[in-house]
């Protein structure tokens, strides 16, 4: 538990320092774009919360050198491998000039480094036909990097409201820690707990008031952390189904896939063109409607904070079955299909103004 406590304290204090001295760095660290299609805050807010999370991870995991060198070596290697991914995201937060291709490329570099140092390449996903191709080393390497890039970008995609991406990531990391404990993988468990602590230290400043944001650096970092720990868990422990991490992370993954379908197939535009019709955004506009029409900053902040819990619950619909059936790939596949059906039903119900009455919040 020391990993959680150290990461939490360092992350929380780092956020406090960033907020206390905001006047010194706001000109380049704050999000001044208040009119973007995906923007909902009313005043410039620092978007460099990823610095606090990375600092929390470093301090919590470097401390392990005093207790267990094997765990410390594993954790330190993982932290260093995350640097290109985090660094490129942070550079975008500071300059606002780094495109998604560059961020994804840096995440691919981080994934390749992890694959190299841990010999962690996905060669089997328990899916008929696919595993034959994954037995080819080059395809396995490309596929592994692609998965890490996809999950990292998925967490950035859902990072739209206070506490949304961070709580989803913390919940998933707790599930990873639980399964790692069950199979006796202390290294994975400690790293997962460190991630939870660092995220919670950031969360107390982010939710519900939104005093500081994850930014691209923070979102890509927690996505990378979740993706790599998931991959390493299943590769180091054969009893864990390859479908466990897929169902575990299926909310952000399916949000990304559905967004690509919605933009490329339905709208016939580039999947990279931003819009304001993600599930969390339609919930904000059509479900949490007790503050609709108001321009009062305080009420808009409350409305923002009320949106994330809907998605936390939705994410748990995937996380809980993953925890129950982490050994059994057939049950995990069935639950994955069921979650996709629930997501699609919920999205189209809200878009077509047929939201279930029990979901509605009224003033």
Residue pLDDT, tens place only, 213-232:
999 999 999 999 999 999 99
Residue pLDDT, tens place only, 4-31:
999 999 999 999 999 999 989 988 898 7
288 pLDDT tier (thresholds 50, 70, 90): confident
Q: What percent of the chain has pLDDT over 70?
A: 93
Q: How is residue 229 written in tokens?
A: 């720990």
Q: How is residue 265 written in tokens?
A: 């197939």
Mean pLDDT over 32-47 rounds to 66
Query: Three-class SS string for 295-358?
Result: CCHHHHHHHHHHHHHHHHHHHHHHHHHHHHCCCCHHHHHHHHHHHHHHHHHHHHHHHCCCCCHH
**C-alpha–C-alpha distance, residues 335 and 338, integer Å:** 5
**C-alpha–C-alpha distance, residues 179 and 132, integer Å:** 28
356 pLDDT tier (thresholds 50, 70, 90): confident
The predicted structure's pLDDT at residue 41: 55
pTM: 0.94
The predicted structure's pLDDT at residue 357: 83
Residue 1 has pLDDT above 60, yes or no: yes
Is residue 83 within 8 A of residue 110, CB to CB? The reply is yes
Q: What percent of the chain has pLDDT over 90?
A: 78
Average confidence score pLDDT of the chain: 92
Name the least confident of 147-161, 254-268, 287-301, 339-353: 287-301
Residue pLDDT, tens place only, 155-193:
999 998 999 999 999 999 999 999 999 999 999 999 999
291 pLDDT tier (thresholds 50, 70, 90): very low
Mean pLDDT over 104-115 rounds to 98
Residue 40 has pLDDT above 70, yes or no: no
**C-alpha–C-alpha distance, residues 309 and 315, integer Å:** 10
Residue 34 has pLDDT above 70, yes or no: no
Domain limits, the chain:
2-359
Residues 6+ apart with CB under 8 A from 313: none
Residue 32 has pLDDT above 70, yes or no: no
Residue 98 has pLDDT above 50, yes or no: yes
Residue 102 has pLDDT above 70, yes or no: yes
Short-list 183, 351, 194, CA closest to 279: 351
Is residue 44 within 8 A of residue 32, CB to CB? The reply is yes
Residue 293 has pLDDT above 60, yes or no: no
């Amino acid at each position: 538990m020391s990993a959680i406590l150290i990461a939490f304290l360092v992350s929380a204090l780092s956020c406090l320092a960033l907020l206390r001295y905001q006047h010194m760095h706001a000109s380049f660290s704050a999000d001044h774009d208040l009119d973007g299609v995906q923007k909902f805050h009313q005043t410039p807010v620092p978007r460099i919360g990823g610095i606090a999370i990375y600092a929390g991870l470093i301090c919590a995991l470097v401390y392990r050198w005093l207790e267990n060198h094997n765990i410390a070596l594993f954790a330190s290697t993982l932290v260093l491998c995350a640097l290109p991914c985090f660094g490129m995201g942070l550079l975008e937060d500071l300059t606002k000039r780094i495109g998604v291709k560059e961020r994804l490329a840096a995440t691919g570099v981080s994934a390749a480094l992890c694959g190299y140092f841990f010999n962690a390449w996905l060669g089997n996903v328990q899916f008929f036909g696919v595993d034959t191709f994954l037995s080819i080393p080059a395809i396995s390497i490309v596929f592994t990097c692609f998965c890490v890039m996809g999950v990292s970008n998925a967490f950035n995609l859902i990072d739209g409201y206070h506490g949304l991406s961070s709580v989803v990531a913390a919940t998933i990391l707790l599930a990873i820690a639980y399964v790692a404990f069950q199979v006796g993988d202390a290294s994975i468990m400690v790293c997962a707990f460190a991630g939870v602590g660092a995220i919670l230290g950031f969360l107390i400043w982010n939710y519900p008031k939104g005093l500081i944001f994850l930014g691209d650096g923070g979102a890509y970092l927690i996505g990378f952390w979740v993706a790599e720990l998931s991959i390493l868990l299943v590769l180091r422990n054969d009893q864990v189904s390859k479908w466990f991490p897929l169902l575990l992370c299926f909310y952000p993954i399916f949000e990304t896939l559905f967004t690509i379908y919605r933009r490329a197939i339905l709208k016939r535009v580039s999947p990279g063109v931003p819009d304001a019709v993600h599930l969390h955004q339609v919930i904000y506009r059509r479900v949490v409607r007790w503050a609709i029409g108001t321009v009062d900053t305080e009420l808009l902040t409350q409305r923002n904070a009320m949106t994330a819990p809907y998605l936390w619950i939705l994410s748990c619909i995937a996380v809980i079955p993953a925890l129950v059936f982490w050994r059994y790939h057939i049950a995990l596949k069935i639950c994955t299909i069921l979650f996709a059906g629930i997501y699609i039903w919920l999205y189209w119900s809200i878009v077509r103004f047929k939201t279930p009455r029990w979901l509605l919040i009224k003033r």
